[in-house]
Amino acid sequence: MNLERVMQVDRRIIYLFVAIGTILPIIFVIGLPVSITPPVQMAFDRIENELQTGDIVLMSFDYGPSSAPENAPMADAMLRHCFSKGIKVVVIALYPLGGLSEAVNELNKVTAEFPELKYGVDYVNLGYKDGAQAAMKKMAENIHEVFPTDVNGTPLDRLPIMKNIRTYRDMKLVVSLATGIIGEWWANLVNAQFGIPVIVGPTAVSAPKYYAYLEAKQMAGLLGGLKGASEYERLVVNRYPKLGEVYATPGLYTATKGMDVQSIVHLIMIAFIVLGNVVYFTTKRKPRKAS
């Protein structure tokens, strides 16, 4: 076989391998185990061991559809964790292109699993706000002026949960599910200037940079991409076995199931990279025939 021709294979053949490698494990779920890494364990422990029932967590939806398959499972797992432990959640969105709708739809989905929770008492959705950094700074002085109403226009003084929340000081933790740079701002602006602990769930693309913030203790935990989300899912199911029933719902998209597919596609890509290099070194050693 002419090895050089292997390198000139139509790109659509490669696409086909990737597509099949993605679809088959979705149809036939493998169920590979996921191990826990320290940054995710730190995030889980912060909520599990250092927060009490009734404490308030601010959860910011800083992502849109472009990264929802990574960020949404993180949001779901963290919401489920907070609600299972009796922690109250204040939801906001600072990402313009879809943050609001993601916050609305994910919150609707998870709260439907906890019928005992009351909107405005156990959780609230304050909606989206423009000018992310300006909003973050202003929230240190008065959240009610940044979000005078909730997502549907209800004034905050009609929502019991917001009566005792004026600034970051009234909350125990910020969780940001982030694409792009907004997650960094929670660390280098809000944590640095106002001191509230921050956990960020960034997309895998930006996760490598977040390790620097984590190491410098500017963040209390890190969930890097789909892998981070799948680890968090495992941790909450281990701690709250009741959630296992939710995660076992047939057809429900979870990060853990996603990691099955991830395994196969990564192996395909690794195989292609190795093949490309084998061909490169084999053909490099052979003297080229004069054309």
Site for other proteins contains 117 (CB under 8 A): no
Pick from 49, 52, 152, 164 the residue near other proteins by CB under 8 A: 152
Nearer to other proteins, 86 or 157 (CB): 157
Closest CA to 214 of 190, 238, 184: 184
Residue span binding other proteins (CB under 8 A) among the ranges 53-61, 74-82, 99-107, 167-175:
99-107
* CA gap 123, 86 in Å, rounded: 10
Burial level of 288, CB count in 10 A (0-12/13-18/19+)? exposed
The tokens of 173 are what? 């933790």
Pick from 208, 242, 245, 249 the residue near other proteins by CB under 8 A: 208
Site for other proteins contains 185 (CB under 8 A): yes
Pick from 54, 86, 148, 195 the residue near other proteins by CB under 8 A: 148
Give the type of residue at 56: I
* Least distance (Å) between residue 142 CB and other proteins: 8
Question: Which 155-184 residues touch other proteins, going by CB under 8 A?
Answer: none
Site for other proteins contains 149 (CB under 8 A): yes
Site for other proteins contains 106 (CB under 8 A): no
Site for other proteins contains 68 (CB under 8 A): yes
Site for other proteins contains 262 (CB under 8 A): yes
* CA gap 255, 263 in Å, rounded: 12
Site for other proteins contains 218 (CB under 8 A): yes
Closest CA to 192 of 235, 255, 238, 140: 140
**HSE (CB half, 13 Å, CA atoms) of 180?**
14
